[in-house]
Structure 1
């Protein structure tokens, strides 16, 4: 599978990557066995970039990702080395007496809660605890995770701490991950980021990242990892858009996209997966998988030949 470099960093990622929210139990429970099988199959299919976060299942996603990567990589050749990323901004702490679990969209939540912490100590503590959960001695990429209401804290404490970790060689690349483009654009313009993880804003339904974020990334030499390419399911046969019921006009638009794709013999999901990579700043498409079968399905779709005429018509 093709690899692309993240900005000017030494980190190279595969153009299709594995998102770890699903094996953290996003919206539905996933067993440890299924999580391990999904990661193992991703490695077998050539996926070489794996992303997770403390937020995913309040630490469960990281624990599963670390255990699964260790199991899947046993005996693997050095050439099969993988890239691993996690995120900072939330500290995971045990629930107090009588405190209810925080679901936050994750099934069967463990007895932990998430606490925002953008201080310099909080950034380092978050990474240290992530490494412990992952059972790893390092990660390659660290993102500031969902700092929507914490922009000034990013400038004051979080980014300087993250940049110091990169300068010290603790991590190879740093970035920010969000579901919006205006703040990501400001970060790209004001900070020295290698990569941004932009979810849902460069898809067949929403190309808003082209308006502000991507031009800034071109100017600054910052790479993009595109997440949420199915817009939370609507482009993959579902009826939700950005985690809410899709309005009728979007349902009709998707129906038109499906008809166009069918005319070229291409599933809409395949076009949705490949579309972001047509922009030169996009290094990888990040997609969540909760089973080996989902990995195979996504890889099969990703490998389909898509005629240029389809893109022109879309």
Structure 2
């Protein structure tokens, strides 16, 4: 979702050309330098009008878009406000950039905490690394979640194909604990599993009840999207994520899939509305820093 007056940052090496928007620190394009193949979803509003939003300071939805903290009620919509804020460029080279967002008068209306959020992108060969760094500069604890939501074009490459020509493989190949969504909320009372002992064939009906969610429990994991049509694909590698979501907007026949690394998750079905009790919330003590990262290989 590129705004008309948006400022964008370009990272480039011999393999890839990467575009990131200062609005939301959102990755908007990754193209192969030689073939010009576009890997990132291009935000067609008929399906989904974003590319790869940052989810902060919540992941998913709150009951009634509302939470309580320290005796006060606050309202915040799905996935939080960072995706709609203008970040500042703190550092930049030809192949790396650091974006920074700090609390301000607008965020205080939604979220009564001081914070500094740094998002670092680094391009090496055909790999793009993304690091989130949340710092608590205050004298009281900060409660937050954070995550990514990158969308990838399907099909990829010159050959004509469809969404259902692709599979998602997960390494380690095993059966993963999983959370289902009841509406937009986490059904914590009925955990289930997802079998990734072999690749999952993509089809739009898989997402009739929203995202497929793997409970990674911070296990290092790689998700790879490929097809027999050609040699192109993407691989998302996580070192310490709490969860990863796989999503495409059903029942729309959308030509993309999102692989979403999460350090946090939507409210549980039985949430009491208190931010400190929120399912999957992270507590950051005064003057401490939280780090999370993932990497994407484009091939």
Q: With the length of structure 1 as denominator, give the TM-score of the two structures.
A: 0.25
More helix by share: 1
Q: With the length of structure 2 as denominator, give the TM-score of the two structures.
A: 0.26
